[in-house]
Structures are given as C-alpha cells and as structure tokens.
Structure 1
C-alpha cells in the first residue's frame, strides 16, 4: 500500500491479519523497518487482529529525502501517522510504538489528539528526552551517520547487536542489518537535534496505555518507561527481566500475549 503524506512523501505500508478484527498500528524505531515486527505479523495475533505496519519516512521502502527539514517537523510526523490510518481505513487502532516511535506517537497526539485511537503501547520508548537515561549503545549514532562506508557499516553492526540482550539468529541478524543499512547516512544525521518533552500532552491522556520495557536495554534505560508510566494516568508498566531493547523479538510469546490482552481491553473500553 502506498500512502501520500501532506508534505508530499510516499510511505510504504502493509496490512496483515483479520480485516474485521480489532486494529493495531505498529510503528517501528529509528533505523528499522516494518520487518522489525516479523514475530507479530507472523503470529497468532494475525488471526485475531487487523494489523497495519509501515516504514517511517527515511526508512525501508518509504521515500528518503535528504533534506533534514523532513525529519524535524513534529506536525509532519503526526500527519504521517494519520495518513497511514486513513489509507488503511483504521477507525480506532491501538498504536504500538518502539523506541523512536515514542516521539512519533507523541507527535501524533500533539497534532491530532487521541480521540481516534483506542490505546497506546510504548515499547522501550520515551516521551521526554533525559540524557541521564540514554544507554551506551546510542554512542554509535554519530558514527552511523558517517559518509565513510566502512565506519558506517561497522557502527551499524554494533548498534544492531546492541538492540538485543538475547541475540537474534544469524539469519534474522543479517536481515536486520540489511534493513538498517537502507537508511542513508544523511537521513540518519537529519534525525539529530530534535527536542522531546511530551509530558504535558501525555499527562492529559484518558485512553489506556501500556508501557513495556526490557530491563537490560542498552539504548534507553528502564527509567525512561518508569517516567512515562508515572506521568500517564492509569498507565500499566510491564518490565521484562533479562530482555534488551527489543522485547517484541526477544520474548515474543509474552509480548504478543500482553499486547493481545491490552488491545482487547482497550477496544472494549472505547
């Protein structure tokens, strides 16, 4: 599915599962792709739920303009989410956002409000940038924006490994490295410097929120999610011991079970 954004980009989106089921929109993190959700789209979730995934601007098969203005406008990010929802015919989905997608969901709620979504699952994601809670693996980001290919690839290899405590299979790691490398160096650089503090807007949410975090995350420390859970009224915090930045991959059975229960409850309550 090709989606046009208000600022003229073409976004690549995909549909999975039961078209008449409760709706889930998965939003991946920085340098990733819709394929990050392989253990959700190819699971029992697809039997019950209408699942939509997409590649963020600058990622995967979506447009990758090199001008940093396309990556620093909060409204553009929020509008992109709404454009995908509209194109897929989503009426009231649960948004599941991993890592950088915490910013994207914050942009969406700031721009469009929360009346069109049933709930939010933040996954190792932040709503406020706190340098004290940034992990060592993100030190690779400047090197990943290098125009020197050898430096770029070496840093990306380390970064991908650092996104896991329980390492992926060799085949899956190679796939992940490949889609990470689809993000151009100039696009990676364009993501830097964008401020984040959605505390005020998130503190006013009245929809269900699940906050998921791997205790061994080396990208963003678990305190990031503890802060979110303390700010959002009624939010539930789920911490995965022994798991890194990617609980949806590292412990997919638990993640999928908790998400399914959350979506069922959120859909009934709205």
Structure 2
C-alpha cells in the first residue's frame, strides 16, 4: 500500500506500508538518491511481513515525496518528516537507517531524542557529514562519484551515477536491481542530490546519549561508506551491538539478504518482547 503523511513545513512524504497491520512497526529510511523501493527484499520476506508492520518512507525530494526548495540542511525538518512517519507506523518502532538514512536518524535523535523509538539499526550508515567527522567517512565509490553525480548536465551525472550504483555491491546482485537503483537516482533532482551534501554535522554527543538498544550492521567491503564510520558509531553508542558482514558491500540487505533479514528479525523481536514486558 502506498500512502503519504505531512512532514515538516507541510511537505508530503510518500510512505510504503505492508505486513501485519496489528503488529509493532519497523520503519525503514533509505539512503542518498534512492527510495523506499530499496527495501523490496525485506518487504518480500515472509517472516518479517508476518511478525511486523513494515513501513518505508521516501525522503523529501526523493521517490514519491514532495520536492521542496529547502529543509535539506535542517535537522528539524528531517526529524519532523520522520516523526510524521512514526506517527503513521505506530510507536514505539524500530527504525532502520541505511547510508544517508543514518544521518536522518541522527537528526531525529538530535531534535527529538528517542521519543517513539524502540531501537535503531544503522546499516552501512553515516551519522555525521563534513570534513573531519569520523562518522561520515566515505569510501572510494562515493569519492569517485563526486562532484559529477551532482551535476545538472546528464553527460556528467549519468556515468558517475552508473558507476556509483555498480559500486554499491561487492557480491553479485540482480542486474534489474542495479538498473532500478540507477533509474531512481536519476529521478532525484540534481539540486536535491547536491543539497544533501551541503552540511557539516557532528553527532558524537547524540550517539553517546542514546538510551535505546542499537545495532550497527556494515559490510566489511563497503566502498560507499567506509566501515570505519560504522565502527565509530558502534564505539560511541552505549551498549551497541554490531554485525560485520564479511565480503559484503553497501547493500547487505540485498547481498546477504537471508542473513540480514534474520538479524533484523531477531533484533526487532527482542525489542517487541521487551516492550510487551514493559506494558504489563
């Protein structure tokens, strides 16, 4: 099912909802220049669908969401968008942030704390951005794509985005998926692709203050977000669990889908059980 919520500043945020309507929610937040379709493999998983309500948002400027002129450098805007999705999903929810989605999740924590969160999962994620911030370290595929991938000139942007999408995975993934990701990236306006990088964010205090369970998942061969960014987050968050996927790139939820889905299911079930005990 496709629906929408009203995010910060009246921006309409596209949302994909499937699974068990009466169950606790897992909310998925995609990365730069992608969409809610990134989570197709999770939405197709029978056990995740049976046990949880699956909710995936399109970030502002992406997918089916509105494309406002601003808000891309404002933590309050990202936090407001995610809060609206959480309101639809039902709280508390486990929130999964992939790649840039990890920074969006950090913005939510910065502005709203852990309200409505049962736990968080960072997947190949950045939690910071800007020069010198260890939580924002990127790999060679990301560095090679910039600045051409931000260009309004398709002759510059297309080859860069194609190489970037191909560089997301280390293990073989279906060709149609790579083409779909490339197509999605091209639907994100160049101005939006650029705006997401015009930020300077330090999240050390935000991560250190986190008081809900966290799981950090990262492919050891990730060439988009350096694995050290994941290690940094895992080291800063009190009591964080971590799972390093060997010889996996930036798409552990596709490259090692069965293992990823089982890991996510176990974490989310643990949080659901803990919530049920608290309510008694």
For the residues of structure 1 that align with 2:172 and 2:188, how far apart are their CA atoms? 22
Superposition deviation, residue 127 in structure 1: 2.1
Aligned to 2:117: 117
Is 1:57 matched up with 2:68? no
Runs of 4+ with deviation above 6 angstroms = none
Match of 2:166 in 1: 161
Which residue does the alignment assign to 2:8?
6
Q: Does 1:137 align with 2:138?
A: no
The structure-2 alpha-carbon separation of the partners of 1:128 and 1:70, relative to structure 1 and needing over 3 Å to count, comes to: closer
Q: Work out which of the residue numbers 190, 200, 209 in structure 1 matches 2:205.
A: 200
Moved more, 25-34 or 164-173: 164-173
How far off its partner does 1:141 sit?
Answer: 3.0
Report if aligned partners of 1:5, 1:83 keep a CA contact under 8 Å in 2.
yes
Residue 278 of structure 2: aligned partner: none
Residue 262 of structure 1: aligned partner: 267
Cα distance in 2 for residues equivalent to 1:146 and 1:259: 36
| Partner in structure 2 of residue 30 of structure 1 | 32
Q: Distance in 1 between matches of 2:150 and 2:89?
A: 36
Query: Unpaired runs of 5+ in structure 2?
Result: 276-280
Q: Give me the CA root mean square deviation.
A: 1.3
The answer to whether residue 214 in structure 2 is matched with residue 212 in structure 1 is no
Tell me the secondary structure at the aligned position of residue 196 of structure 1. Answer: coil
Structure 1 residue 56: Cα displacement: 0.3
1:46 corresponds to 2:49? yes
* 2:251 equivalent among 239, 246, 266: 246
Task: State the number of aligned residues.
Answer: 267
Asked if structure 2 preserves the Cα contact closer than 8 Å seen for 1:219 and 1:245, the reply is yes
Gaps of 5+ in 1: none
Residue matched to 2:21: 19
Cα distance in 2 for partners of 1:4, 1:131 equals 32
Tell me, yes or no, if the aligned pair for 1:161 and 1:167 is still in contact at 8 Å.
no
1:252 positional shift: 0.5
- Per the alignment, in what secondary structure is the counterpart of residue 59 of structure 2? coil
Distance in 2 between residues matched to 1:49 and 1:33, nearest whole Å? 20
Higher mean displacement: 132-141 or 147-156: 132-141
Secondary structure of the equivalent of 2:120?
strand
Partner of 1:79: 80
SS in 1 for 2:270: helix
TM-score normalised to structure 2 length: 0.92
CA deviation digits over 1:129-149, x for unaligned, max 9? 456732111121311111111
Paired residues of 2:25 and 2:89 also in contact (CA < 8 A): no
3-state secondary structure, aligned to 2:249: coil
> What does residue 240 of structure 2 align with?
235
DSSP-derived class of the 2:15 partner: strand
